[in-house]
Amino acid sequence: MSAQDSIKEGAKLTSIEIRGVQVPFIFEQSKQLPVGSIEFIFVGGASDEQKDGLAALSSKILNEGTKQLGNVEFAKKLESKAISIYAGANLQTMSFEISYLKEFEDLSFEFFKDLLYNPNLTPNALNKVKMLTLNRLAREEDDFDSVASKNLYQILFKGTRMAIPLLGTKQSIESIELKDIEAFLKRNLVLSRLIVVAGGDVKEEALRQKIISTFSALPVGEGRQREYYKTSREVDSINVDKPTEQAFIYFGAPFDINNKEQNYIARVMSFILGGSGFGSRIMEEVRVKRGLAYSAYTRINLDGSADFMSGYLQTKLENKDEAIKVVKEVIRDFVDNGVNAQELSAAKAFLLGSEPLREETLSQRLNATFSNYFKGLPLNQHKKELELIRNLSLEELNAYIKAHREILDLSFSVVE
């Protein structure tokens, strides 16, 4: 068995041919529970929308049941058999997640097929999801964390789709019509964009045949490649005045990945700088030593869409300037002087010890496998990284840290 096939009872990547299209198929056999789990993922999502928030709104309306049954009756039928079907949208994907008891696999596919080809695209359903989305957007205007976070993305990803909230804006949501959603789904729900991730106590060949039967009527359509968004090199800041006694401080910077095979070093670096809670550099300096915030963190984001560093803290208004100064000092010292052996040892102990907890469930394992696939990495990259982390030397880590001086180019988004 190859390393790629050895992920927890044999997760593997093959393909399913449907109407001449080779659909990627990631599968893991697991007999821990008599259940099945499938995710049908279509590459596109918000990166392929003509109106802001269209992908999110389209996924919401897909959760409103079928045109014949409507939301309530469709949900009742699913619930009576303990079947779950959920549609969601992200920056680069739209997906359907299906989970079911082994005995109801056939019925699950019947329900899903009905939803796929006969969704509840009606004025009433659209008005409902638009109202819910507009209400959420209104609430977020008074959520200062949300305001600061959105503004940081506007700085870091200016001029790209990542600068736009996934939910869109009040104006864009109000402008969306049924014809927009119909066109979006027609373009995105096609075989050329489909990826299947499945597992559980199911028979692989039988599952393949059900998938072929379910999608045989789907158009081939046009494929779409994963997008990559570069972080702005321009240092900037946004300050927003709100009726608050606290300053909400979000900050970020570019993080250049020249060799994604070294992402494991970035994980260790991220953990020590600000991802480990108490004991991290940021938390120790900002809270423990100076009492400037209840919590503070940083993380290096390597999700496949963009590579960047981001962080957050909340402090009293009168401490805002000092807190920002401390953040800059801590990160500069980190880059200039690196870490010590004790910090590396603690990071290794936690990262190696916590990895089994991230793979306790089938869903967790499938998500990790798909994440690797979507980033263009081997399916078992997260497994390989454990051994690499175990053998990482202090000299290698500090050389890596010192090579990433771009994280000193910090931009700030503040609500005060």
pLDDT in tens, 26-45: 999 999 899 999 999 999 99
pLDDT band at 295; cut points 50, 70, 90: confident
Would you say 256 and 307 are in contact if contact means Cβ atoms under 8 Å apart?
yes
Condensed to tens digits (0 to 9), the pLDDT of residues 42-74 reads 999 999 999 999 999 999 999 999 999 999 999
Q: What is the CATH number of the domain that holds 265?
A: 3.30.830.10
Place of tokens 């964390």: 145
Q: Which of 140, 176, 167 is nearest to 45 (CA)?
A: 167
Task: State whether 89 and 145 are in the same domain.
Answer: yes
Task: State whether 200 and 248 are in the same domain.
Answer: no
Is 51 part of any domain?
yes
Task: State whether 241 and 346 are in the same domain.
Answer: yes
Is 85 part of any domain?
yes
pLDDT of residue 304: 85
> Cβ of 43: how many Cβ atoms within 10 Å?
22
Task: State whether 154 and 298 are in the same domain.
Answer: no
> Cβ of 132: how many Cβ atoms within 10 Å?
12
Task: State whether 25 and 168 are in the same domain.
Answer: yes
User: Is 370 exposed, middle or buried (CB count within 10 Å of its CB: 0-12, 13-18, 19+)?
Assistant: buried
Condensed to tens digits (0 to 9), the pLDDT of residues 185-199 reads 999 999 999 999 999
Is 289 part of any domain?
yes
Work out the average pLDDT over 170-181: 97
Is 228 part of any domain?
no
Residue at which a domain ends, from 183, 216, 249: 216
For strands 21-29 and 12-18, give the pairing. antiparallel
Q: Which of 19-23, 351-355, 389-393 has the lowest mean pLDDT?
A: 351-355
CA 397 to chain centre: 26
Averaged pLDDT score across all residues of the chain = 94
d(CA 58, CA 181): 6
pLDDT of residue 5: 37
pLDDT of residue 6: 36
Task: State whether 53 and 145 are in the same domain.
Answer: yes
d(CA 331, CA 251): 12
Work out the average pLDDT over 294-305: 92
Is 4 part of any domain?
no
Is 385 part of any domain?
yes
Condensed to tens digits (0 to 9), the pLDDT of residues 355-410 reads 777 777 888 899 999 999 998 889 988 889 999 999 999 999 999 999 999 999 99
Q: What is the 3-state secondary structure (H, E, C) of the chain?
A: CCCCCCECCCEEEEEEEECCEEEEEEEEECCCCCEEEEEEEEECHHHHCCCCCHHHHHHHHHCCCECCCHHHHHHHHHHHCCCEEEEEECCCEEEEEEEEEHHHHHHHHHHHHHHHHCECCCHHHHHHHHHHHHHHHHHHCCCHHHHHHHHHHHHHCCCCHHHCCCCCCHHHHHHCCHHHHHHHHHHHCCHHHEEEEEEECCCHHHHHHHHHHHHCCCCCCCCCCCCCCCCCCCCCEEEECCCCCEEEEEEEEECCCCCHHHHHHHHHHHHHHHHCCCCCHHHHHHHHHCCCCCCEEEEEEECCCCEEEEEEEEEEHHHHHHHHHHHHHHHHHHHHHCCCHHHHHHHHHHHHHHHHHHHCCHHHHHHHHHHHHHCCCCCCHHHHHHHHHHCCCHHHHHHHHHCCHHHHCCEEEEEC
pLDDT of residue 279: 84
pLDDT of residue 1: 32
pLDDT band at 9; cut points 50, 70, 90: low
Is 1 part of any domain?
no
Q: Give the 3-state secondary structure of residue 7.
A: strand
Task: State whether 173 and 314 are in the same domain.
Answer: no
Domain that holds residue 348: 237-415
Condensed to tens digits (0 to 9), the pLDDT of residues 117-137 reads 999 999 999 999 999 999 999
Task: State whether 104 and 249 are in the same domain.
Answer: no
Residue 260 has pLDDT above 90, yes or no: no
Would you say 364 and 358 are in contact if contact means Cβ atoms under 8 Å apart?
yes
Tokens of residue 232, six digits: 């702005």
Is 397 part of any domain?
yes
Residue at which a domain ends, from 187, 216, 245: 216
pLDDT of residue 414: 98
Residue at which a domain ends, from 167, 187, 216: 216
Task: State whether 104 and 204 are in the same domain.
Answer: yes
Residue 4 has pLDDT above 70, yes or no: no
pLDDT band at 325; cut points 50, 70, 90: very high
Could you tell me which residue, 113 or 1, shows the higher pLDDT?
113
Rounded to 10 degrees, what is the CA torsion of 97, 101, 106, 110? -40
Task: State whether 197 and 273 are in the same domain.
Answer: no
pLDDT of residue 261: 86
Work out the average pLDDT over 317-325: 95
Task: State whether 127 and 247 are in the same domain.
Answer: no
Work out the average pLDDT over 206-225: 97
Residue 294 has pLDDT above 70, yes or no: yes
% residues pLDDT > 70 (the chain): 98
Could you tell me which residue, 7 or 71, shows the higher pLDDT?
71
pLDDT band at 3; cut points 50, 70, 90: very low
pLDDT of residue 10: 66
Q: How many domains does the chain have?
A: 2
Task: State whether 281 and 380 are in the same domain.
Answer: yes
pLDDT of residue 277: 81
